[in-house]
Amino acid sequence: MKDIILITGAGGLIARELARRLEKDYTVRFLTRKKKHNNEFEWNIQEKTIDDTAFEGVSHIIHLAGANISEKRWTNERKSELISSRVDSADLIVKTLQKKKIKLKSFISASGINYYGTKTTNTIFTENDGPGNDFLSEVVVLWERAADQFKEQNLAERVIKLRTAVVLSEKDGALKKMLPTIKMGIGSPLGSGKQYMPWIHIDDICSIYEFALKNQDMDGAYNAVSPQHTTNENLTKKIAEVLRKPLFMPNVPGFVLKLAFGELADALLEGSRASAGKIQKAGFEFTFPDLKNALENLLYK
């Protein structure tokens, strides 16, 4: 009998890619807002409803649910949605596990590298560093606190929180958004361009989730980030280099981004490095630790 894994956030970038990998060794189910396939089960976070048959026999939950941070301006309503989609969804799962008297082998939660704050510093943050003091940091702190309750309430043998960097994929996310202007030869760095951009290849983030499932010694928080650091300017140049496109446009001024995106612009204009040392010490080996190789793999498929 294969272990059963329940994945939330079925519509996200990571969920489907990860599921394809896991289906060989596990039975995979999804929690989704609208059921389309036999292995999908409906839930509604706002209405606090859930099809609890999804939990029958479940051994592991991978919690990827969460509204997209960069999709809309951060109005007060949007901020509440960003938090609720992460925290209230976890709370709903907690209540369901309690009701059905289920204890998981593992609860693995997405988290964010912005735990350390939206700022550009010389610090290379490790999992021993404390949180920042801005909105994104607050989101991640609440997100991780919601995950920790699974262990505190004896609902999971272990809880793993993967503080995820910018995921590079040609299908979605930051890279897909950057490609059109660079392909037209009018790409340019944002603000000073000196802000660090912690990143990870889509294959490596999926591999980390698979590694976390199978490595029983893993527990707690881990930075899910490539060991090679880059800045926004360097990332932009590397994409242009791989695509053989010129970069001659001036940097996009910070004030323009702030006018367009409001407070969200801070997440584009600031960023620090984070260490991959802990996950590597656990035995994980990156397939794409080098940025240029990662981009060539994604853009030459």
pLDDT in tens, 43-63: 999 999 999 999 999 999 999
Residue 250 has pLDDT above 90, yes or no: no
Q: Say which residue the tokens 């048959």 belong to.
A: 53
Which tokens in the block code for residue 233?
């300017």
**What is the reported pLDDT for 301?**
64
Q: Say how far apart CA 73 and CA 89 lie, in whole Å.
A: 22
Please state, in angstroms and rounded to a whole number, the distance separating the CA atoms of residues 207 and 22. Answer: 10
Percent of the chain with pLDDT over 90: 81
Between vectors from CA 38 to CA 33 and to CA 40, what angle results, nearest 5°? 25
Over the stretch 254-288, which tens digit does the pLDDT of each residue have? Answer: 888 888 888 888 888 999 999 999 999 999 999 99
For residues 219 and 275, the answer to whether their CB atoms sit within 8 Å is no
Residue 261 has a pLDDT of 85
Q: Mean pLDDT lowest for which of 9-13, 148-152, 206-210?
A: 9-13
| Percentage of residues of the chain with pLDDT beyond 70 | 100
Average pLDDT over the chain reads 94
The pLDDT assigned to 37 comes to 86
Query: Residues with Cβ < 8 Å from 201, sequence gap 6 or more?
Result: 167, 168, 169, 226, 286, 287, 288, 294, 297, 298
CB 150, CB 104: distance < 8 Å: yes
Question: Which pTM does this prediction carry?
Answer: 0.95
How remote is the C-alpha of 209 from its chain's centroid? 11
Mean pLDDT of 85-106: 96
Q: Confidence band (pLDDT; 50, 70, 90) for 74?
A: very high
**pLDDT, average across residues 102-127:** 96
- Tens-digit pLDDT profile for residues 143-194: 999 999 999 999 999 999 999 999 999 988 889 989 999 998 888 999 999 9
Q: Which residue type, as a one-letter code, is found at position 296?
A: E
